[in-house]
Amino acid sequence: MLRPGRMPRSGLRRPPGGATAIPRAIIDQVRDRTDIAEVVGRHVTLKRSGTSLVGLCPFHPEKTPSFNVVPHKGIFHCFGCGEGGDVFRFLMKIQGVSFNEAVKELAAAAGIQIEERDLTPAEEQRLRTRATLFDVCEEACRYYQGILKARPEGGPGRVYLQQRGLRPETWDRFRIGYAPDAWSGLVDHLHGRGFSEDLAIEAGLARRSDRRGSTYDLFRRRVMFPILDDRSRVVSFGGRIVELPDLPSPDAGQPKYLNGTDTEIYRKQRVLYGLSLARTEIQRQDRSILVEGYFDVVTLSQAGFQEVVATCGTALTFEQLEAIRRFSPRVVALFDSDEAGIKAAVRSMPLFAAAGVDALRLSLADAKDPDEHIRLHGADAFRALLNRTEPLTDTVIRFVAGRAGPTAVGRQRAVEELAPLVSRFPEVARASLVRRIADLLDLPERDVARRVARARSDARPGPQAPAAVDPPPPEAPLSPEVKDLLWLLIHHAEVVGPRIRTASPDLLDARLEVLDCLAGLLRGDSVAAVAEACPDESIRTILFEAASRTDYIPGDRAEVAVDQLFARLEADRIAMCLKRIRQEIDLGGPNRLDLVRERTTLNRRLAELRRLLPGIGR
């Protein structure tokens, strides 16, 4: 960290909010002056291998090194778990610090003074909105808490929570509150505190009525569970409607649970309910318990199991698993013991594998959820269940094997089904799974290993795209040509650069982010700088992976390679044009002559390309 004596005291122009940014030029300078091998070397034992250094990845468990550092490119990349980036990213991951903190720490070490500049008005506006969204959520949380604790309109909430066995000290720990059965209780309260209606809407707490244009509370007659981010700030809420015998039934069509929508400060795919309270205990117990509902978390915590988290109304995502894995790689997850539950377990296996998580299966015999189990049987019974978890992989192997039957054909079929699942696990886990399958199916281990290896080579190579249970939004993947182009530009810029500069961007047909990366690399920016400027995580991964892979196309082949690559792209483009022309001619449009002429020209060019580079023009 920066020692105070080194801080440039004059020349620091902080705006009132203290919001400043470190100028890009300084960031680049710090990166250039820092030896990434030395910084990584403090945490990982590195051995030289060609032009890079390799070691055991600190971010996922492994026995053979797949973690690479490429000092002259200033980057690291792990082929096992896909983690990669520049030296700042490394520090952020390993020390859990922010980007600015990482930059400052390394700047101090390199003797570079950081003169933070004022934010641009746009940046300031953005920060202000964020700040006020945090403020408005915090204020809402206090309002709901106040209603639950002391106000007459909080009565139904108090009765309901008592019926569910939750004690007031638990309400406090989780900051539980109550949203009264009123249309504008929160909106009015916020208004009185100087927050605009627009902010309440932006924070996902209120809506504007289409017909009357008035703003109304989104959460009404609900027990409110605030959702906290990893710095314990309230970012959203989940609300459970309150049903009581002596209350009129809630309006028809009201969902039992209402979850906050995504906002500028909240992405439900990334957040786990309860994590900020659970993380110390997760580390201490070296496990987390993953459940589905707010009440499961709160009830288990009250019963003494504080390492518990829940998804917030989404299917489990890769990002959520990554978030818990930082504290412990062991996750106890709840799956029903019936066939549907086990099928769900089979489906989720690749997700756990991709996230490097050891999943343990917990099944409740006679309760629908942990909340009910605790209320029916108490804490000791639940603790006994926790001691009877089994690896999820065991459940899945036994299930698949059992279904396929004991005949030779059946066992073979089981291996076929299991191999693709096993192939997604990291190497260490894979070996022991192969042994386990061989054991359970009574087959030679090397047969199973061979089948798994085949499944691995069948799977598309490239960066690890986690097969999430909740699939990420589809994005156009980069074509192999564009990936190769990035690689060539990173490693043989002098040969490839001129060729790319004269190519038509249209030919590349790549996403804008990729074109930006190409432009940056052509300008001579470092891979690390280009990646940092790129907003797309998957492209960043591709860049880092390309940079750490040094032995792909040798220098003396680079020129031919890039020519072939462009010829392929052009041939593809021509094939598409020809297809379109054929369709238009078939439709009998008015410009038949022009079309025929264009077709002739294109065919001639295609023939030329084929002569130049045999085998082109699939």
Closest CB 79 distance from Zn ion, rounded Å: 8
Closest CB 365 distance from Zn ion, rounded Å: 38
- Residues 135 and 148: their CA atoms lie apart, in Å, by 20
- Residues 273 and 279: their CA atoms lie apart, in Å, by 11
Which residue from 55, 74, 80, 157 is in contact with Zn ion, where contact means CB under 5 A? Answer: 80
Which residue from 36, 52, 55, 60 is in contact with Zn ion, where contact means CB under 5 A? Answer: 60
> In the range 114-173, which residues lie near Zn ion by CB under 5 A?
none
Nearer to Zn ion, 43 or 164 (CB): 43
77 binds Zn ion (CB under 5 A): no
For Cα atoms 255, 259, 262, give the angle at the middle one, nearest 5 degrees. 140
Which residue from 59, 90, 134, 195 is in contact with Zn ion, where contact means CB under 5 A? Answer: 59
> x/- contact string, 19-58, with Zn ion (CB under 5 A)?
--------------------------------------x-
78 binds Zn ion (CB under 5 A): yes
- Residues 49 and 29: their CA atoms lie apart, in Å, by 27
3-state secondary structure of 529: helix
Which of 553, 533, 540, 532 lies closest to 485 in space, CA to CA?
553
User: How many binding residues for Zn ion (CB under 5 A)?
Assistant: 6
From the number of C-beta atoms within 10 Å of its C-beta (0-12, 13-18, 19+), residue 103 rates as buried
Structure tokens at 522: 């052509």
Q: Which stretch binds Zn ion (CB under 5 A): 73-81, 341-349, 483-491, 497-505?
A: 73-81
Q: Which stretch binds Zn ion (CB under 5 A): 59-67, 208-216, 379-387, 429-437?
A: 59-67
Residue 377 φ/ψ, nearest 5 degrees: -120, -10
Closest CB 65 distance from Zn ion, rounded Å: 10
Which residue from 70, 81, 87, 546 is in contact with Zn ion, where contact means CB under 5 A? Answer: 81
Closest CB 303 distance from Zn ion, rounded Å: 36
For 467, residues 6+ apart whose C-beta sits below 8 A from its C-beta are 350, 351, 354, 424
Nearer to Zn ion, 53 or 114 (CB): 53
Q: Which stretch binds Zn ion (CB under 5 A): 21-29, 72-80, 494-502, 604-612?
A: 72-80
Nearer to Zn ion, 78 or 606 (CB): 78
Closest CB 67 distance from Zn ion, rounded Å: 6
CB 381 within 8 A of CB 373: yes
Closest CB 117 distance from Zn ion, rounded Å: 35
- Residues 550 and 211: their CA atoms lie apart, in Å, by 62
Residue with tokens 């992976």: 545
Q: Which stretch binds Zn ion (CB under 5 A): 79-87, 437-445, 473-481, 540-548?
A: 79-87
User: What is the number of other CB atoms lying within 10 angstroms of the CB of residue 55?
Assistant: 21
Q: Which stretch binds Zn ion (CB under 5 A): 78-86, 177-185, 302-310, 334-342?
A: 78-86
Structure tokens at 496: 């490839």
Closest CB 81 distance from Zn ion, rounded Å: 3
- Residues 71 and 51: their CA atoms lie apart, in Å, by 8
- Residues 80 and 427: their CA atoms lie apart, in Å, by 8
Closest CB 61 distance from Zn ion, rounded Å: 9
Nearer to Zn ion, 311 or 541 (CB): 541
Closest CB 423 distance from Zn ion, rounded Å: 17
Give the DSSP H/E element, type plus range, for residue 352: helix 339-355
Nearer to Zn ion, 85 or 177 (CB): 85
Nearer to Zn ion, 80 or 85 (CB): 80
Closest CB 426 distance from Zn ion, rounded Å: 8
353 binds Zn ion (CB under 5 A): no
Closest CB 56 distance from Zn ion, rounded Å: 9
- Residues 305 and 289: their CA atoms lie apart, in Å, by 8
Nearer to Zn ion, 83 or 296 (CB): 83
Which of 423, 427, 484 lies closest to 455 in space, CA to CA?
423
Nearer to Zn ion, 37 or 529 (CB): 37
- Residues 78 and 72: their CA atoms lie apart, in Å, by 17
- Residues 254 and 239: their CA atoms lie apart, in Å, by 11
Closest CB 78 distance from Zn ion, rounded Å: 3
3-state secondary structure of 360: strand
Nearer to Zn ion, 67 or 160 (CB): 67
3-state secondary structure of 253: coil
Nearer to Zn ion, 27 or 81 (CB): 81
**DSSP class of 263:** B
Nearer to Zn ion, 82 or 350 (CB): 82
Closest CB 60 distance from Zn ion, rounded Å: 4
198-201 long-range Cβ contacts below 8 angstroms, 24+ apart:
199/132, 199/133, 199/136, 200/136, 200/140
Relative to beta strand 288-291, strand 330-334 is: parallel
Nearer to Zn ion, 306 or 548 (CB): 548
- Residues 423 and 49: their CA atoms lie apart, in Å, by 26
For 117, residues 6+ apart whose C-beta sits below 8 A from its C-beta are 13, 20, 21, 22, 23
Q: Which residues bind Zn ion (CB under 5 A)?
A: 57, 59-60, 78, 80-81
